[in-house]
Amino acid sequence: MFLLLIMSLFISCSTAKEDLSAILFPVKKEKILNNIVYTEKKSILDENLTAYQVKDMNSFSFYGQYFANELKSNAATYAGKNYLELLGDSKDINGYKIHLYTRKESEKMEKLLLEKLGKPAFDTGNEVERNIIWEKSGKIFILNNGNAEIQGEKTKESDLICLNTNFTTLIINATQTTKYSEYLKFRIKNNKKVESYPYSLYDKEEN
């Protein structure tokens, strides 16, 4: 009986999945990508940032949920297959990107973030193309989603980027299509913190 208990605990520990929501940045690349199959390339956010694309998206959970899926069977990455990238350099990981092509997972992601992170700091509220941003515990979450047509399939496509808030230039690049980018520039220039100077206050002053 004791031996069975030990074996059960060993199996449980060895199969436990890393939860992205629990990661504190920076985290050592060797630690988080240990025994994970991945490819690497330059991130579209910044040429000095490396994107480590994980082969099996279900190697990681996000708030205990999994998001691997594809529009069609054997769909290629960047053309219908959901994917995960860890963002950093040769030593440290300071963020991640989850891209979803499937409507079911896109809707699940939006609902999950609103449930776990609460009221957003910024929300365009547009159902056709929505930009939602949260800043929580040293991280910024940037969710962009909207209706799309991919390979002849009508769907809802989503892109979630989570970054260490110390990476201000990257964050400004990632939010440049929204008014939040100007708010961040103003906050940095005037040495203001999100806790004492939220976007809502900036927006009120500007308008």
**Exposed / middle / buried, residue 148 (Cβ in 10 Å: 0-12, 13-18, 19+):** middle
Q: Do the Cβ atoms of 67 and 57 come closer than 8 Å?
A: yes
pLDDT tens-digit map of 130-172 = 999 999 989 999 999 999 998 888 999 999 999 998 887 788 8
User: Quick one: what percent of the chain has pLDDT higher than 90?
Assistant: 67
pLDDT beyond 50 at 4: no
Q: What is the pLDDT of residue 16?
A: 52
Answer yes or no: is pLDDT of 9 > 60. no
* Model confidence pLDDT, tens digit, residues 37-88: 999 999 998 888 999 999 999 999 999 999 999 998 876 666 789 999 999 9
Residue in this structure with the two tokens 């998206």, named with its chain if needed: 57
- Work out the average pLDDT over 181-199: 91
pLDDT tens digits along 22-38: 999 999 999 999 999 99
pLDDT at residue 176, rounded to an integer: 82
Token output for 174: 């990632």
Whole-number CA gyration radius for the chain = 18
Please choose, from the candidates 146, 150, 118, 148, the residue with its C-alpha nearest in 3D space to the C-alpha of residue 133.
118
Helix (H, G, I), strand (E, B) or coil at 14: helix
